[in-house]
Amino acid sequence: MARRALTTTAAVFATTAALLLTACGDGDDKPSGDIEGADTAASPSNSASASTPSGVKRPEVTLPSSFRLTFKNWTSSDPDEQAVLNDGKEQLRAGYAAIIENKPDGGNALAFYDTEAGLSQDREWLKSYTDKNVTVIGELPVFDPQATLFAKKTKAQLRYCTDESKAQTKHRKTGETVGNPQGTDPQVAYVVTMQKSEQGVWQTVSTNSTRGGCS
């Protein structure tokens, strides 16, 4: 169920879900069931917070109460780092919203927060759910964020961890729910490569994950 990365070239990774749905995984987890965790409950998303640039209108991302993505200590005293955290958070929310809405193409919100390469990779992640006709339910905490900027603040790396203990996938037709297999480490570490668009939006270029990498 975790969001995993799929290696496409020596330098590019495609994101996918790690929980069981590690379908496009970069290595650790192989698809076994389908799971994911992820966003703060269902009301109109905690989309771009006040600290995000006001010049660009961000899309509104909404998640149902059946799937809760929580972001712990998702703040920084540095406004540039906070901008990376804000857009990285909304990109993750947009991805799970697309899974829940059964949109294998990602929809407009994910396209907004992804580069062309990032969207291509994320579509592989989404299909690991939509092709199996499953959605995600439960709770997915996202914690220990760390944003690092470089290349004159035009590129960034965002690291964070997730805990899939309370997240599951649910078959849309049968209602069957699946979680990670017993003995699977529920924590997954992510490294997200991002770049700043001409409009000032931090877009995801690639995502890599390591199950058990949070300890």
Please, is 75 exposed, middle or buried when counting C-beta atoms within 10 Å of its C-beta (0-12, 13-18, 19+)?
middle
Reported as a single tens digit per residue, the pLDDT across 158-210 is: 999 999 999 999 999 999 999 999 999 999 999 999 999 999 999 999 999 99
The pLDDT-based confidence of 2 (bands split at 50, 70, 90) is: low
Cα separations (Å) of 141 from 72, 145, 146?
7, 11, 15
Reported as a single tens digit per residue, the pLDDT across 116-166 is: 999 999 999 999 999 999 999 999 999 999 999 999 999 999 999 999 999
User: How many distinct structural domains can be found in the chain?
Assistant: 1
Contacts (Cβ under 8 Å, ≥6 apart) of 88: 145, 147, 158, 160, 192, 194, 202, 204
The pLDDT value given to residue 36: 39
The pLDDT value given to residue 67: 98
- We report the CATH number of the domain holding residue 194 as 3.10.450.50
- With a threshold of 0.95, does the pTM exceed it? no
Residue 177 C-beta-side C-alpha neighbours within 13 Å: 10
Amino acid at 116: E
The pLDDT value given to residue 55: 77
Q: Which of 30, 25, 6, 34 is nearest to 180 (CA)?
A: 34
What is the domain range of residue 74?
3-211
Provide the token pair at 144.
């220990």
Reported as a single tens digit per residue, the pLDDT across 55-80 is: 799 999 999 999 999 999 999 999 99
Q: Which residue has the tokens 């770049």?
A: 195
Looking at the DSSP bridge assignments, the partners of residue 195 are 155, 203
**What is the rounded average pLDDT of the residues 30-59?**
47
Amino acid at 130: T
Reported as a single tens digit per residue, the pLDDT across 13-34 is: 233 334 443 333 344 443 333 3
**What is the rounded average pLDDT of the residues 73-91?**
98
